Structure 1
Amino acid sequence: MREFSVPAVITAAPVGGLADVVFEYARQDPGRVVLGRKTDGVWRDVTSGELCAQVLALAKGLLAQGVRFGDRVGLMARTRYEWTLFDFALWAIGAQPVPVYPTSSADQVWWILHDSACTACLVENEDQAMTVGSVVDRLPGLRRLWQLDAGAVEQLVADGRSVADDVVDRHRGAVTPDAVATVIYTSGTTGRPKGCVLTHANFMYETDTMVARWESVFGGGPGEEPSTLLFLPLAHVFGRMVQVAAVRSRVKLGHQPVLAAAELLPDLAAFRPTFVLGVPHVFEKVFAAARRTAEVEGRTGAFDRAVETAVRYAEAREQKAFGAGPGPSAALRMEHQLFEKLVYGKVRAALGGRVRHAMSGGSAMSRRLGLFFDGAGITVFEGYGLTESCAAATANPPGATKYGTVGLPIPGTTVHVAEDGEVWLYGPHVFAGYLNDPAASAQVLREGWLATGDLGRLDEDGYLTITGRKKEILVTSNGKSVAPAALEERVRSHPLVSQCIVVGNDRPYVAALVTLDPEGIAHWLSMRSRPQLAPKDLVRDPELTAEIRRAVVAANTLVSQAESIRSFRVLPEQFTEERGLLTPSLKLKRRAIEKTYAHEVAALYQS
């Protein structure tokens, strides 16, 4: 199949902007809880009325400080409550927030603030303020710099007390759906980040479609208050979409700025969300932690049997959903029930105990991992999208999930697979183009179609599978084309592996560089009663090398012999964003990695 469409389930908003719902909901039901805010270690409820009052007060302060309709304002912070306040306050006065990753270098900060012509910037702390300060002499249009941890919100609210409420109302009334809502910069894996111009209409259509079609997720269960804890970066379009969707659907939204388990798990337990949204790495970590716990408790065999049962149970349900089987047998249902308290309930408890649905995006999730979570009682709807498509363009629908695919086009969207395998998208959520870059815009926007640069295929039911990136296809010196994504994903699924990058362009065969997962390694050594080793000694350890070789052999079963990994090297350090080797959304910067490890790559091909 070359093309597939799904009919729309909503109509595009004819008037208004993203901030309108904050004011409408405050009038309709001011006492309804819509956010959770953690202060002094305690989660406190925030009602519609309180949120509206805070957004209005901040919007007046922004006006008092000189922010005007159409101005762009940089937001450089982690995922926290104040980001949501600033987003909606800026939208209320027709301004355009421009997200900046808090880990960005000075040069990256300069480029984004310069290219977007920001007139003001909000930072979280003194370190970020110093980063902006180091390039401010090259930003003549930047007139204001606010710091959250130095009382920025309180100062702005105080400054805005002299501004009448109706001034904000007049600004908000002038916002139309086709107005620019935000400029989000791409990760920049191959060059300067490009600013994706997204409108209020893009976000309203995207989020309202997701909420309508995935009502079982955003609506919660019978008598249940729907809620989600957002730990994705709000500088990324996925996190931004979640924020907007939660506010528009009155899902209680909490913020968690730290992905480390020590910080995240206690907040999941306290906030108890009904659904979560994350990248595959998060779900891999939850699974790996559960297995390590089982191994420490001497229950490895039982855990592994529970995993197999969950996978078979979910596969049987999947087959039934598509008319290919009767569903789980009575014996399988009994076996599944046996592991409910022993394993599955504990996995759900790690996510707060109430989670029954999750959404995953950003990169591919292995089919087996998705099936495990489904069998454990958490349906993971994997989807696919880009910043240019305002997050999800496809997603697995409720009741008809095909694990290993990224689902059907979201309603109102058409997916087309070109002759060369490139995925093209068409729909009301597709962006308006790149800021200040008509040439780049023309390369990806073709009569309304978005050429994604991703390779994929549509099955007979219209489900999309992403097979790689056009620019990442390796061609060996023997002329063999190799898509590295599937190999890398399979190697990375091993509990001792953190990252894997496949190399081989213009070389005689395919090889790989592998980094180690610190938590997995510490556990592995502990279970063998072996002392912790320095990284330089660890990578030469024969037993560890044998473990990684098993992961590589497993990956090679996915491809032909000509495409298989012939050689690999374990590295003593991580690929990190700080080292310039990962994007903020944890994607590999292939050119940078190959340049940094040129010596190690060369050694892979020495006889």
Structure 2
Amino acid sequence: MVDIVKQTTTKLLKPIDADKNIFDLLDDRAKRTPDEEIIRYRDDSGQWQGFTGTAFRAEVVALAKGLIAKGFMPGDSIAILASTSWQWTALDFATLSIGCVVVPIYETNSAAQIKMICNDSTVKCMICGTDAQRDKVMTVKDECPTLRDIYVLQTGAIDAIEELGEGVSDAEFEERRAATHGDVLATIVYTSGSTGTPKGIELTHANFVFTVYSGFQYMPEFTLGEDQAMWLFLPLAHVFARYMQFICLAGTVKLGLGSNFKTIIKDFQEFKPTLILAVPRVFEKVYNAASQRAGTGFKGRLFNRAAITARDWSRAQQAGKQLPLGERLRYNFYKKAVYSKIIDVFGGRAGRAISGGAAIAPDLSHFFNGIGMPLLEGYGMTETTAPCSVNPFHGYKIGTIGLPLNGITFGIAKREPGADYGEVLIKSPSVCRGYHNHPELTEQQITDGWLHTGDLGDIDDEGFIQLKGRKKDIIITAGGKNVSPGELEAAVMKSEIVDQCLVIGDGKPFVAALVTLDLAGVNDWLATQGGEPVANLEEAAANPAVHAEVERLVDAANSQVSRAESIREFRIVPDVWSVDNEMLTPSLKARRSVIVEHYRKLIDTDIYVPRKNK
């Protein structure tokens, strides 16, 4: 029995049909806006192209018929390993429309991870974006007994699949579509768990359909407004991006699709989105770029003062106050001279941005709020089919994850002994069906209808939810990547020369590690290398051969994970972590919060170099 001490709910404005499928969302849009451009993208030559509602539906149906002709049956798993593109979206809708299961795979996943995912979800077909991705899959194909077909988008997969389906009738497609009800499994999304082994999360059509219609009710200004547009460049392997793809196409939004980060600013400026969707790292990069362009002279000083004024304005606005007259005059000057130019980076039409995947630094939120583009922080998990709370367009609160979407309830569990806050729990029709092939984990994580998030938090008097830390040790980088540190730490600590390894990076742009050495082990290892012994940990940490060996260990650990999960920087600290100095628990586990706080200066000023003008 779950002991709930606080809860907050946003009621549904009207019931949501739980039996619709995801293709129905596109079908409804095509009927409403058959001749309106609903998708826009750059072709291989860099020219803008698009699909109307009718044309994109036809593309999806042609692909679905090809998959039927190939013999894929309801429940068969088809994996997509490719960058964000209209082809990804079309294949997603096509696969789902005939009752097959989409298994998204990140481009950065290692061959070992791809093998594990293929075998766990019995993938029958892999659609790769490039020849290089296919080559990576081929290194493990013989160890994936169910994987029979591999297609490559780069070399004509779309045309090949559509050609296969030319003999499949509309009636046969409609029969498969009609049999795909809300309770049918739509996708298995793999995410890192506390053990480091990815777990497959099962999401149904009803999970996505509920979250889409809940989003319509919560933010109609965007999802159902006129002349709305969003440029989607986040990986569609991430459930947050995938959900936004569905809600845009189901609503009235023109969806731009691309993945070339080298042209992202140009894409923003030419596509002119009305809403920006990104992880905190993107906004950090925009801020950093603006600061660096300003330089250190007059323009740099102007930017510094403008940034301070923007934050001051934001803090006053959040407190329901106004700046003094002199500061208001300066604010209005900066609005034209500085702030408008930053908003122009995003195309000039974006009045709001939704940030997800990781927490935003308050200073960054206040800066963007002050310049006129609030970052509406939200919260979601793969287990909740992406967003389950977000700050409203009006009345948002910086430092919170907003209010529940319509039809969703947040609860705070009774605090455990010694804890300052209780665990955040969620009850919603958007909560996943469970963990694939892990019924015991499903029972553990979803009890009495409540999903245990692993996060600690609180609910204020107005129902806004605040996060206060993580119950477990999963790291979420600024880019929104979930990283389980245990696997990396264990790999580095295999060596005799390493005493402890702590992987860090929560809310940071990349993963890093702090490493301590075992003095006796170091000297034993040096002896085998023909090296001279060291007298203390300071000498050991400074020894080039020892440093090179730790680097080799880190590289070996990194080879087992994706690039986004890999350790980019490490520092050897000449200290001993023990129970006595409270760095270790009695069971000799690293006390993460204590260690991170102890090395705060090293982390903030050396490993993660601070932003200028901040």
Offset of 1:583 from its aligned partner? 6.4
Q: Residues 10 and 208 of structure 1 are in contact (CA less than 8 Å); yes or no, is this contact kept in structure 2?
A: no
Q: Residues 12 and 201 of structure 1 are in contact (CA less than 8 Å); yes or no, is this contact kept in structure 2?
A: no
Confirm whether residue 95 of structure 1 aligns to residue 100 of structure 2.
yes
CA distance in 2, matches of 1:226, 1:428: 27
Residues 362 and 35 of structure 1: CA distance in aligned 2, closer, same or farther (over 3 Å): same
Q: Residues 103 and 578 of structure 1 are in contact (CA less than 8 Å); yes or no, is this contact kept in structure 2?
A: no
Confirm whether residue 201 of structure 1 aligns to residue 202 of structure 2.
no
Offset of 1:502 from its aligned partner? 8.1
Offset of 1:577 from its aligned partner? 13
Map of 1:547 onto structure 2: none
Q: Residues 230 and 256 of structure 2 are in contact (CA less than 8 Å); yes or no, is this contact kept in structure 1?
A: yes
CA distance in 1, matches of 2:46, 2:109: 28
Q: Residues 131 and 152 of structure 2 are in contact (CA less than 8 Å); yes or no, is this contact kept in structure 1?
A: yes
Map of 1:243 onto structure 2: 245
Confirm whether residue 410 of structure 1 aligns to residue 405 of structure 2.
yes
Confirm whether residue 256 of structure 1 aligns to residue 258 of structure 2.
yes
Report Cα offsets for 1:542-599 as digits up to 9, x if no partner.
Answer: xxxxxxxxxxxxxxxxxxxxxxxxxxxxx999x9999369867x5x67xx78xx95x8
Map of 2:17 onto structure 1: 13
Map of 1:528 onto structure 2: none
Report Cα offsets for 1:129-150 as digits up to 9, x if no partner.
Answer: 1122111112221221111011
Map of 2:605 onto structure 1: none
Offset of 1:331 from its aligned partner? 4.1
Offset of 1:2 from its aligned partner? 2.5
Offset of 1:307 from its aligned partner? 1.2
Offset of 1:458 from its aligned partner? 2.0
Q: Residues 458 and 465 of structure 1 are in contact (CA less than 8 Å); yes or no, is this contact kept in structure 2?
A: yes
Letter in 2 for 1:162: G
CA distance in 1, matches of 2:576, 2:294: 37
Map of 2:531 onto structure 1: none
Residues 301 and 501 of structure 1: CA distance in aligned 2, closer, same or farther (over 3 Å): same
Confirm whether residue 600 of structure 1 aligns to residue 572 of structure 2.
yes
CA distance in 2, matches of 1:129, 1:583: 16
Q: Residues 110 and 560 of structure 2 are in contact (CA less than 8 Å); yes or no, is this contact kept in structure 1?
A: no
Pairwise mapping of residues 363-382 of structure 1 onto structure 2 (< 5 A)? 363-382=358-377
Q: Residues 60 and 161 of structure 1 are in contact (CA less than 8 Å); yes or no, is this contact kept in structure 2?
A: yes
Q: Residues 193 and 474 of structure 2 are in contact (CA less than 8 Å); yes or no, is this contact kept in structure 1?
A: no
Pairwise mapping of residues 155-170 of structure 1 onto structure 2 (< 5 A)? 155-170=160-175
Report Cα offsets for 1:12-50 as digits up to 9, x if no partner.
Answer: 214320101322332333101100021120112210011
Map of 1:385 onto structure 2: 380
Offset of 1:602 from its aligned partner? 5.1
Aligned with 1:148 (options 134, 150, 153): 153
CA distance in 2, matches of 1:577, 1:162: 50
Confirm whether residue 36 of structure 1 aligns to residue 40 of structure 2.
yes
CA distance in 2, matches of 1:412, 1:217: 19
Offset of 1:407 from its aligned partner? 1.4
Letter in 2 for 1:124: G
Residues 364 and 370 of structure 1: CA distance in aligned 2, closer, same or farther (over 3 Å): same
Confirm whether residue 335 of structure 1 aligns to residue 330 of structure 2.
yes
Report Cα offsets for 1:27-84 as digits up to 9, x if no partner.
Answer: 3331011000211201122100110110111111111111112211001011111000
CA distance in 2, matches of 1:414, 1:256: 34
Residues 147 and 504 of structure 1: CA distance in aligned 2, closer, same or farther (over 3 Å): closer
CA distance in 1, matches of 2:32, 2:461: 45
CA distance in 2, matches of 1:269, 1:109: 36
Offset of 1:11 from its aligned partner? 1.9
Report Cα offsets for 1:409-428 as digits up to 9, x if no partner.
Answer: 22211111222321111111
Map of 1:64 onto structure 2: 69
Pairwise mapping of residues 356-505 of structure 1 onto structure 2 (< 5 A)? 356-418=351-413, 419-420=415-416, 421-472=422-473, 498-499=509-510
Size of the aligned set, in residue pairs, is: 511
Confirm whether residue 23 of structure 1 aligns to residue 20 of structure 2.
no
Map of 2:178 onto structure 1: 173
CA distance in 1, matches of 2:376, 2:178: 36
Q: Residues 515 and 573 of structure 2 are in contact (CA less than 8 Å); yes or no, is this contact kept in structure 1?
A: no
- Please give the secondary structure, in 1, of the residue aligned with 2:472: helix
Offset of 1:377 from its aligned partner? 1.2
Q: Residues 37 and 81 of structure 1 are in contact (CA less than 8 Å); yes or no, is this contact kept in structure 2?
A: yes
Offset of 1:319 from its aligned partner? 2.4
Residues 268 and 293 of structure 1: CA distance in aligned 2, closer, same or farther (over 3 Å): same
Q: Residues 189 and 583 of structure 1 are in contact (CA less than 8 Å); yes or no, is this contact kept in structure 2?
A: no
Q: Residues 488 and 502 of structure 1 are in contact (CA less than 8 Å); yes or no, is this contact kept in structure 2?
A: no
Residues 400 and 287 of structure 1: CA distance in aligned 2, closer, same or farther (over 3 Å): same
CA distance in 2, matches of 1:44, 1:50: 12
CA distance in 2, matches of 1:450, 1:577: 36
Pairwise mapping of residues 208-219 of structure 1 onto structure 2 (< 5 A)? 208-219=213-224
Residues 264 and 212 of structure 1: CA distance in aligned 2, closer, same or farther (over 3 Å): same
Residues 582 and 140 of structure 1: CA distance in aligned 2, closer, same or farther (over 3 Å): closer
- Please give the secondary structure, in 2, of the residue aligned with 1:140: coil
Map of 2:281 onto structure 1: 281
Residues 197 and 577 of structure 1: CA distance in aligned 2, closer, same or farther (over 3 Å): farther
Map of 1:537 onto structure 2: none
RMSD: 3.1
| Percent of aligned pairs with the same amino acid | 33
Q: Residues 370 and 380 of structure 1 are in contact (CA less than 8 Å); yes or no, is this contact kept in structure 2?
A: yes
CA distance in 2, matches of 1:445, 1:390: 14
Q: Residues 352 and 373 of structure 2 are in contact (CA less than 8 Å); yes or no, is this contact kept in structure 1?
A: yes
Letter in 2 for 1:125: T
CA distance in 1, matches of 2:209, 2:223: 15
CA distance in 2, matches of 1:162, 1:302: 66
Map of 1:568 onto structure 2: none
Taking structure 2 as the reference length, the TM-score comes to: 0.77
Map of 1:521 onto structure 2: none
Residues 16 and 473 of structure 1: CA distance in aligned 2, closer, same or farther (over 3 Å): closer
Offset of 1:389 from its aligned partner? 0.8
Map of 1:120 onto structure 2: 125
Letter in 2 for 1:276: I
Confirm whether residue 353 of structure 1 aligns to residue 348 of structure 2.
yes
Offset of 1:459 from its aligned partner? 2.2
- Please give the secondary structure, in 1, of the residue aligned with 2:426: strand
Taking structure 1 as the reference length, the TM-score comes to: 0.78
Residues 501 and 155 of structure 1: CA distance in aligned 2, closer, same or farther (over 3 Å): closer
Report Cα offsets for 1:172-218 as digits up to 9, x if no partner.
Answer: 11111111111111134642101100111111111222232122233
Confirm whether residue 579 of structure 1 aligns to residue 558 of structure 2.
yes
Letter in 1 for 2:344: A
Residues 341 and 118 of structure 1: CA distance in aligned 2, closer, same or farther (over 3 Å): same
Confirm whether residue 315 of structure 1 aligns to residue 315 of structure 2.
yes
Report Cα offsets for 1:106-130 as digits up to 9, x if no partner.
Answer: 1100111110011111011111111
Ranges in structure 1 where 5+ consecutive residues have no aligned partner? 475-483, 493-497, 508-539, 541-570
Residues 189 and 254 of structure 1: CA distance in aligned 2, closer, same or farther (over 3 Å): farther
Offset of 1:437 from its aligned partner? 0.5
Instruction: Tell me which moved more, 45-54 or 2-11.
Output: 2-11
CA distance in 2, matches of 1:72, 1:580: 27
Report Cα offsets for 1:438-480 as digits up to 9, x if no partner.
Answer: 0111111111110011122222222222222222399xxxxxx
Residues 115 and 291 of structure 1: CA distance in aligned 2, closer, same or farther (over 3 Å): same
Instruction: Tell me which moved more, 329-338 or 57-66.
Output: 329-338
Map of 1:269 onto structure 2: 269
Map of 2:547 onto structure 1: none
Report Cα offsets for 1:222-278 as digits up to 9, x if no partner.
Answer: xx521111111100111111111111113111112133xx32111111211111111
Confirm whether residue 3 of structure 1 aligns to residue 7 of structure 2.
yes
- Please give the secondary structure, in 1, of the residue aligned with 2:315: helix
